[in-house]
Amino acid sequence: MVKKRACVFISGKGSNLKSIINHSRDYNFPINVSFVISNNENAKGVYFAKKFSIPHKIIKERKDKFEKIAIKELRDRKIDLICLAGFMKILSKYFIRNFNGKIINIHPSLLPKYKGLNTFQRAVEERNEWTGCTVHHVDEKIDNGKIITKKRVKIKSGENIKKLKKKVQTEEYKAYSIAIRKLYAYN
């Protein structure tokens, strides 16, 4: 199997990046992490790119300039798939059209519920019984594209937000790898 070339976009901790890298070491996993882009020079996740000798670039430039630099890198490196993993920057319609159908994201809620920020707090405050995470295609609206996979986590009564977040993150690692496998399952 010829593996697809993925680029992971991060802004922070990078635990999803780490998990995707670990999965990609399986010869059966459909992608290799070929490149990492961070818009934040202090992102802890950059450490994982270094640790696994994955080429990476920190692009501190703002919107248009960021995207111009990123698009050139992605084209030069023949990237097939962009995985957003804790990437805290909104991509323009122009960028998304350039990589139509090739950008996926992980969001910490059961979409279409709780798009945007503070998803755990909102789920707890509104007394939801379940929350979780969703991997979805990225389209021009925020947290809106076609859903690839979801994982559910039960909310206990009096649940602590930090603990809940941790439980959901564990499910995120599974969800992201399932979603990537699913994308290429019939190719």
Q: What token pair was written down for 106?
A: 């992980």
Choose which of 23, 24, 40, 86 interacts with ligand GRF (CB under 6 A): 86
Choose which of 30, 108, 132, 145 interacts with ligand GRF (CB under 6 A): 108
**What is the C-alpha separation between 50 and 10, in angstroms, rounded?**
14
Q: Is 56 assigned a catalytic role?
A: no
Hey, which residues does 169 pair with through a beta bridge? none
101 DSSP 8-state letter: T
Choose which of 133, 148, 153, 175 interacts with ligand GRF (CB under 6 A): 133
Hey, which residues does 5 pair with through a beta bridge? 32
Residue closer to ligand GRF, measured from CB, 13 or 181: 13
Report if residue 107 touches ligand GRF, rule: CB under 6 A: yes
Cα distances from 39 to residues 3, 28, 103, 131, in angstroms, run: 26, 30, 17, 28
- H or E stretch covering 3: none
**What is the C-alpha separation between 107 and 142, in angstroms, rounded?**
10
Measured in whole angstroms, the distance separating CA 159 from the mean position of its chain's CA atoms is 25
Residue closer to ligand GRF, measured from CB, 10 or 74: 10
Report if residue 132 touches ligand GRF, rule: CB under 6 A: no
Choose which of 3, 5, 13, 68 interacts with ligand GRF (CB under 6 A): 13
Catalytic: which of 23, 107, 136, 137?
A: 107
Report if residue 81 touches ligand GRF, rule: CB under 6 A: no
| Binding residues for ligand GRF (CB under 6 A) | 10, 12-16, 45, 85-86, 106-108, 133, 169, 172
